[in-house]
Amino acid sequence: MISIGIIGGTGYTGVELLRLLARHPHAKLTVITSRSEAGKAVADLFPNLRGKVSLDFTAPNTHAYQDCDVVFFATPNGTAMQSVRELLAAGIKVIDLAADFRLRDPATWETWYAIPHVCQDLLSEAVYGLPEINRQAIRTARLVANPGCYPTAVQLGWLALLEAGLIDPGSLIADCKSGVSGAGRKASVPILQAESTENFKAYNVGGHRHWPEIKQQLALFTDKPVHLTFVPHLVPMIRGIHATLYARTTASVEELHAALTQRFATEPFVDVLPLGGHPETRTVRGVNTCRLAVHQPHGQGTAIVLAVIDNLVKGAAGQAIQNMNLMFGLDEDCGLNDVALLP
């Protein structure tokens, strides 16, 4: 059994880690810390875990994790970098679900997150935890930077077509839509039910923190310069991301589709729909699958990829466990074989 610690498990990525780990056949939840909820039973905060998780939250401290094989950070950005060095020194592997180790360039980090990076020496060691591109490196990593939710959907959508040279990297437009759980479990007026349901809006059109992450990653899949426009929107639903991805192409839709199916033929968590398909976010609710489709309407030279994930699973906790499985030599899909809850 892998002994597991979770730091900051009071948000949605935290409770999702708990849900998935509670039934993982090789995981043993050892400690979960929270400054604000220390002393409270986990199942009192999240009643869906009654009878499933018997731990209490404990206050974070340096000795709390000493029996852990791996620690997940489900904390705000800028938290993990404060203590990762110490954990690694103690032989504990780390998976950070926040952004601290996603950007390779500390200057870019500081521009977008407005926090000095105090752990720059580990940036080059950290492995970007998207198994579909980094599987081997993840297997031997001590420190994994779990990708952002939008970046996961956008990369999986464009990966095959960029690698195959079928779309123009200078023409990328990612129109992305996310359910409100992406905004986190924090008291905030704009995501109250009476505010955000029966409503649709774009946000942060002027600039969103996932833009540099997506751009950094897409650049790895092509030799040409990447020009990326990224617009996030808030969807009145709890879970799910839908990325609608536009790029210029000279390929036929059959060529585009073939590139997708070939690239992901053996991927356990990427499912390419038949030609003409429209993936729906609900078909991945609660599961680690990314579902894709591709169109090229009116023979007009625009490749349109549709990509859906559950932002809390493949976009956060599920992908983190997929990474853990790789890091500990387990089957990659261990504990991640649920069927999406539909309806």
In the complex, the smallest distance separating the C-beta of residue 164 from a second copy, rounded to whole angstroms, is: 21
> Candidates 86-94, 136-144, 160-168, 305-313 — which segment interacts with a second copy by CB under 8 A?
305-313
Check residue 56 for interaction with a second copy (CB under 8 A): no
Among 2, 6, 15, 326, binds a second copy (CB under 8 A): 15
Q: How many residues bind a second copy (CB under 8 A)?
A: 88
Tokens of 120: 């720059």
Q: Does 103 bind a second copy (CB under 8 A)?
A: no
Question: Which one of 29-37, 58-66, 88-96, 287-295 is the stretch in contact with a second copy (CB under 8 A)?
Answer: 287-295
Residue 181 CB, nearest approach to a second copy (Å): 5
Radius of gyration of the CA atoms of the chain, in A: 20
The amino acid sitting at 106 is P
Residues 54, 83: Cα–Cα separation, whole Å = 26
Burial of residue 91 (CB within 10 Å: 0-12, 13-18, 19+) is exposed
The reply on whether position 24 binds a second copy by CB under 8 A is no
| CB 209 to a second copy: min, Å | 13
Please confirm whether the linkage preceding 343 is cis (ω < 30° from 0): yes
The torsion angles phi and psi of 251, rounded to 5 degrees, stand at -85, 155
Closest distance to a second copy from the beta carbon of 311 (Å): 11
Subset of 167-196 contacting a second copy (CB under 8 A)? 173, 175, 177, 179-181, 183, 185-189, 191-196
Task: Based on the shown chain and the rule CB under 8 A, indicate whether residue 254 belongs to the binding site for a second copy.
Answer: no
Whichever of 52 and 135 has its CB closer to a second copy, that residue is 52
Q: What's 180's DSSP letter? A: G
User: What are 7's two structure tokens?
Assistant: 């730091």
Asked if 93 interacts with a second copy (CB under 8 A), we say no
**Is 71 within 8 Å of 92 (Cβ atoms)?**
yes
Measured from the CB atom, the residue of 82 and 111 that comes closer to a second copy is 111
- Position 76 contacts a second copy (CB under 8 A): no
Q: DSSP E strands: which ranges in 39-159?
A: 70-73, 93-96, 127-128, 143-145
Q: Which two tokens stand for residue 115?
A: 């926090």
Nearest to 173 by CA among 194, 183, 152, 158: 158
Q: Under the criterion CB under 8 A, does residue 51 sit at the interface with a second copy? A: yes
Binding segment for a second copy (CB under 8 A), chosen from 17-25, 116-124, 145-153, 156-164, is 17-25
Tell me if 260 sits within 8 A of 161, measured CB to CB.
yes
Lay out the site mask for a second copy across 306-325 (x = CB under 8 A, - = otherwise): x-x---x-------------
> Binding to a second copy by residue 89, rule CB under 8 A?
no
Q: Which stretch binds a second copy (CB under 8 A): 94-102, 131-139, 254-262, 334-342?
A: 334-342
CA dist 81 → 77, 106, 225, 303, 329 (Å): 9, 12, 31, 39, 26
Per CB under 8 A, which region of 64-72, 74-82, 218-226, 276-284 contacts a second copy? 276-284
What residues have CB less than 8 Å from 176, skipping those under 6 apart? 150, 153, 154, 230, 231, 232, 233, 241, 242, 243, 244
> How many Å separate Cα 264 from the centre of its chain?
18
151 binds a second copy (CB under 8 A): no
**Smallest distance, a second copy to C-beta of residue 137, A:** 26
Interface with a second copy, residue 337, by CB under 8 A: yes
Active site residues: 149
Among 102, 242, 263, 314, binds a second copy (CB under 8 A): 242
Question: Taking Cα atoms as reference points, which of 109, 107, 154, 105 lies closest to residue 133?
Answer: 154
Binding mask 199-238 for a second copy (x = CB under 8 A): xxxxx-xxx---x---------------x-xxx-x-xxxx
Return d(Cα 209, Cα 190) in angstroms, integer.
19
Helix axes 149-163, 131-139, angle to 10 degrees: 100
